[in-house]
Amino acid sequence: MTVIGIIAEFNPFHNGHKYLLKQADGLKIVAMSGNFVQRGEPAIVDKWIRAQMALENGADLVVELPFLVAVQSADHFAKGAVEILSRLGIDQLIFGTEEVLDYQAIATIYSEKGAEMEGFLRSLPDDLSYPQKTQKMWETFAGVEFTGDTPNHILGLAYAKACAGKGIALKPVQRQGAGYHSEEKEVAYASATSLRLHKEDQDFVARFMPNSQLFQSAPQVSWENYDQLLRYQILTRPDLTQIFQVNEELANRIKDAVRSASSVEDLVEKVATKRYTKARVRRILTYILVGAMDQSLPDAIHVLGFSAKGQAHLKSLKGQVDLVTRIGKEPWDSLTQQADQVYQLGHPQLPEQIWGRVPVRVEESTV
């Protein structure tokens, strides 16, 4: 049986994600962000709910991306996720993208010219943001052109880079419906952005999300729920440069801006520059919120849920891969667990995220 990997946030899970899972034929393993996501914000519903929705709609196994993989720029996010999926024995990586290119050929270019390409990246001026630098690298070495706002395409290139030399087949799927950040409601497939924005519109949510009652009945959070906690961390921590990826310039900009910022989004606007993108600033604020320090990634893989087919695959890996299905006295990943505890403070009805939690079991998906 073909073992297929999918890297996802499912923030929240919607019909477009269900469509992507349907395009995969084989055992489907999802490496999913935990309670904080790549663009630097808390997930709208917790990781257990999102894992359950994925399992009920085609996934066979859902594992968690550690915090320092999930809340990272595209290259680090892709590298960490692919490493986990590779250890779980995937043959293919399937992903949605706005531009279906020959990503396999792009991966081959990187496997042959990686050192030269990374040297080119380092040679580019510092006034360019990292995303701008990587775009120039792909344009120069692979002839890839970028048009408009295509974050899934940029992630696809990061996946190609991460899969180079690993023997993993890359299977892009044309993204359906509205654009990634589209807020439109009259569409065939609503975006996750639109569903977060219109979450109070139950009819709209039900139309574009399978098992929408599970989502609608779950405690929901956004940056607004953590505004005061974030301010407390900024105002009381004497040296923000101790936090992961915070340099002196960013520390000073954040300390100055927090006094007049009316919201987290306003703080992002005040701190962001051409060099420090809004996404990077949001990630930095997430690191400050949870008190993230640089640390090594966990050796073990945390299992969030499985189907009967997924459970059988886990049994076949016994002795080859260190798997965690219940977190005990020793932490699986101390930073991820710290982030989980901070996340839980965002809503009084959020259930326990760590202790006593066991993988979600779904006997058979509804797909």
Residue 364 CB neighbours (<10 A): 10
Using CA atoms, how far apart are residues 47 and 340, in angstroms rounded to an integer?
A: 10
Q: Around Cβ 29, how many Cβ atoms within 10 Å?
A: 25
Residue 10 assigned as binding residue: yes
Task: Give the residues of the chain that fall short of pLDDT 70.
Answer: 147-151, 176-187, 364-367
Q: Tell me if 235 is assigned to a ligand binding site.
A: no
Residue 225 assigned as binding residue: no
pLDDT of residue 180: 47
Q: Provide the pLDDT for residue 314.
A: 97
Compute CA distances 325 → 20, 177, 184, 213, whole Å: 26, 36, 39, 26
Is position 198 annotated in a ligand binding site? no
- Residue 363: its pLDDT value, please? 84
> Where do the domains of the chain lie, and which CATH numbers do they carry?
3-217 (3.40.50), 223-290 (no CATH)
Taking alpha carbons only, the member of 254, 203, 199, 200 closest to residue 231 is: 254
8 is in an annotated binding site: yes
Q: Is 361 annotated as a binding residue?
A: no
CA-wise closest residue to 361 among 13, 47, 4, 55 = 55
* 151 among annotated binding-site residues: no
Residue 365 · residue 30 · CB < 8 Å: no
**Residue 9, marked binder:** yes
Instruction: Give the alpha-carbon dihedral of 21, 26, 31, 34, to 10 degrees.
Output: 50
Instruction: Tell me if 169 is assigned to a ligand binding site.
Output: no
Q: Is 6 annotated as a binding residue?
A: no
- Distance CA(228)–CA(222), nearest Å, equals 13
Find, among 211, 213, 206, the residue nearest to 190 by Cα: 206
Q: How many CB atoms lie within 10 A of CB 50?
A: 31
14 annotated ligand-binding residue: yes
Is 16 annotated in some ligand binding site?
yes
pLDDT tens digits, one per residue of 180-230? 455 566 667 888 888 999 998 999 999 999 989 999 999 999 999 999 999
Distance of alpha carbon 363 from alpha carbon 311, whole angstroms: 10
Contact by Cβ (8 Å): 278, 266? no
Other Cβ atoms within 10 Å of 203 Cβ, number:
8
85 sits in which H/E element: helix 74-87
d(CA 50, CA 45): 7
Angle between helices 334-344 and 278-290 in degrees, nearest 10: 90
pLDDT at 211: 87
Determine if residue 347 is labeled as part of a ligand binding site: no
Q: What is the pLDDT at residue 163?
A: 97
